[in-house]
Chain A
Amino acid sequence: MKSRRALRRALLAVAGFALAAFILAPFLWALSASLQTESALFKRPPDWIPRPFTVANYNYVLTGKVPAAYEQRGLLRSPITQEARLLPWGLQNSLLVALGVVTLNLVLGTLASYTFARERFRGGRLALLFVLGSRLLVPVAVAIPIYMILQRLGLLDTKLALVLVHGAFTLPFTIWVLTLFFQAIPREVEEAAMIDGCSRFSALRRVVLPLAAPGLAAVGSFSFLFSYNEFLFALLTTSTVRSKTIPVMISAISVNPDASYTLISVGIIMAIIAPIAVALVFRRYIVSGLISSLGERT
């Protein structure tokens, strides 16, 4: 019995290590590749720990100082390296768009969900179903019409366009989650506030919102990650450094056959820092938000 338990624990430990390796290997190799010189990356067997260790690739993207290893092929590389130099702007665009989408979700999503959760009114149920049902759309199907709308509005190649489109795609899930969160808050709490003279809106702001903070953190994280990671619409509607997001930029660099894989790796690392930070910091809320989206009270 004792040895069986020991065996079980050993097997579970092996499984745990295998899982950690499976999750981390792609990250660690991208990190390692970003810290190598280009010729070192092609070595067989590979240097798992970069040797020579160099931050020249990062230095190039951030300051424009061409790595010594490139000088020999500098002319050939110049088109792609120009593209890599724009990565910081792409990162900035991505963060601004994602924060805009978060704001939009928190403000509009909260207002609407609270009404959906508390008020019964003619057409209200239909409106809710419409908003939620819109999530079933296949993005490719609506891509061209959305492009045309943005063109008509003069919003092509702007960050605002991405905020609006991403907002429209994230709000349904936000409203779904927040409506459930608000319904889980006992009415008595706000009734007390309203008897004390609060309006519907100020009851929401002063009493309900603090109670729903975990839900707000969850939908904030979801909408940040969705917007930051979204690719198709960002690819179609942006065309210059004014609004290109970092996924669009690294995909462009990566499908360039002339690309330097060390610089691509720098792009990957730069692109994943923000979402990983959000996932780690808001993990608790993300997980509980996912669970409550199943409609189970937590």
Chain B
Amino acid sequence: MGGAALARTRRGAPAGGGAVRTASSRYRWGSVAPVIVLVALFTLFPLAYAAWTSVRGVLLTQPGSTPFVGLDNYADVVRGSAFRGAAENSLLFTAVSVPLVTVLGLAVALLLNQHLPGVGALRVLVLLPWSIPLVSAGIMWRLLLHGNFGALNGALLQLGIIDHDVPWLSSPRLAMFSVIAAHLWREFPLPAVLFLAGLQTIPASVLDAARVDGAGTWQRFRFVILPLLKAPLLIVLVYETMISIAVFDLVYVLTGGGPGTATTLISWLAYVITFRFLNLGQGAALSFLISLAILALISLYIRIVRVEGERP
């Protein structure tokens, strides 16, 4: 991972000879201070404030009263009627979308690594879903999946695959998978680009040697290519897990958490508690629980990948 590279270069870069003046301490701090002030203002203070809020009863509907309630907000939010459903939804969403995004990204990378006419154009196209605002991606998918005039139903009817409109977004079961489909479309480019870069660093001679030794396509993939993609794989798993737990914009425009609570993911619930119910204390508590879950999952991945091979 990057941290190792950074540490390595730091150690490997001794002060370069007596001729070089090191910059003055004023320059050093002057050059980093603006960034530190800006980042601290919008992260440290908000974080401390959110921590304070999470142990107080803060309801915008009852201004002027913020009693200390200890961990009650945490307990209440977990015991609340919506939490269980949202946690399950997020678990399902993450458990389906992270592997799908990873596998699709890897498959696309393998395809883009072939020498075929048109691959250059595909490499350009692949960045497009990733580059646009998430809300516009969500709205585009709503145009596709709309139950009454969506393009997907139109195409399926035209091809005779279905004989009546499918309620992609208004059936509780289908809505979740519609959100996952839109998320997949939006998220696969980044893994594809990272895996493709990894593939391009594998020397052809290594693959040729494996072929000479009698390794088939699958064996070459499993035992030569995959181990060499461990670094991007870890990054992709960590990043995509964070993204799928934090997914928000997409739900906002695609389903609004519905129908009912069918697509109420955990971060959407945090938004609803904070900004619709105006219960800032519980909202902050839930946000911290989400952060904890993300950190736990990340450390789990890092452990798994470390155990798999001696170096990530």
Contact = CB atoms under 8 A, between A and B. Distances in A.
Given A119-B22, A261-B149, A201 B27 contact: yes
Contacts of B46: 137, 141-142, 145-146, 149
A9 B117 CA distance: 10
A296 interface: yes
B119 to A, nearest CB: 7
A261 B145 CA distance: 13
Contacts of B190: 290
A9 B198 CA distance: 23
Interface stretch (A75-83, A123-131, A205-213): A123-131
B253 A255 contact: yes
Nearest to B145: A26
B154 A45 contact: yes
A30 interface: yes
Q: Which of A180, A276, A283, A295 has the most CB of B within 10 A?
A: A295
Contacts of B288: 141
Contacts of B291: 136-138, 141
B267 A294 contact: no
Nearest to B270: A140
A13 B296 CA distance: 41
B144 interface: yes
A201 B256 CA distance: 50
Contact of A188 (B16, B43, B151, B294): B16
A231 B287 contact: no
B127 A286 contact: yes
B144 A268 contact: no
A231 B21 contact: no
B287 A276 contact: no
A287 interface: yes
A19 B108 contact: yes
B252 interface: yes
B139 A264 contact: yes
B273 to A, nearest CB: 9
B111 interface: yes
Contacts of A165: 42
A58 interface: no
A295 B197 CA distance: 13
B276 interface: no
Contacts of B267: 138, 140
Interface residues of A, number: 103
B233 to A, nearest CB: 11
Given A279-B127, A290-B190, A268 B139 contact: yes
A46 B157 CA distance: 10
Interface in B120-152: 121-122, 124-137, 139-144, 146, 148-149, 151
A27 B95 CA distance: 28
A131 B36 contact: yes
Nearest to A139: B246
B307 interface: no
Contacts of B130: 279
A108 B128 contact: no
Q: Which of B32, B141, B144 has the most CB of A within 10 A?
A: B32
B178 interface: no
A183 interface: yes
Given A27-B140, A109-B35, A145-B49, A46 B149 contact: yes
B118 A276 contact: no
A7 to B, nearest CB: 13
A122 to B, nearest CB: 9
Given A137-B43, A145-B45, A279-B128, A295 B1 contact: yes
Nearest to A172: B39
Given A131-B36, A179-B6, A26 B137 contact: yes
30 contacts: A15-B111, A30-B139, A108-B35, A111-B31, A131-B39, A134-B44, A138-B267, A140-B283, A141-B288, A142-B47, A144-B274, A149-B42, A164-B41, A164-B42, A168-B41, A168-B42, A171-B38, A175-B35, A191-B17, A200-B23, A247-B133, A250-B135, A250-B136, A254-B253, A255-B253, A272-B132, A275-B132, A283-B127, A287-B197, A294-B231
Given A46-B154, A264-B143, 11 more contacts: A16-B119, A19-B125, A45-B157, A46-B158, A145-B46, A168-B42, A183-B13, A194-B21, A231-B135, A247-B249, A294-B232
Interface of A: 9, 12-13, 15-16, 19-20, 22-27, 29-30, 33, 41-42, 44-46, 108-109, 111-112, 114-116, 118-121, 124, 127, 130-131, 134, 136-146, 148-149, 164-165, 167-169, 171-172, 175-176, 179-180, 183, 187-188, 191, 194-195, 200-201, 225, 228-229, 231-232, 236, 246-247, 250-251, 254-255, 261, 264-265, 267-268, 271-272, 275-276, 278-280, 283, 286-287, 290-291, 293-297
Closest 10 CB pairs of A and B: A295-B2, A141-B287, A295-B5, A145-B46, A279-B131, A142-B46, A168-B42, A145-B49, A200-B23, A46-B154
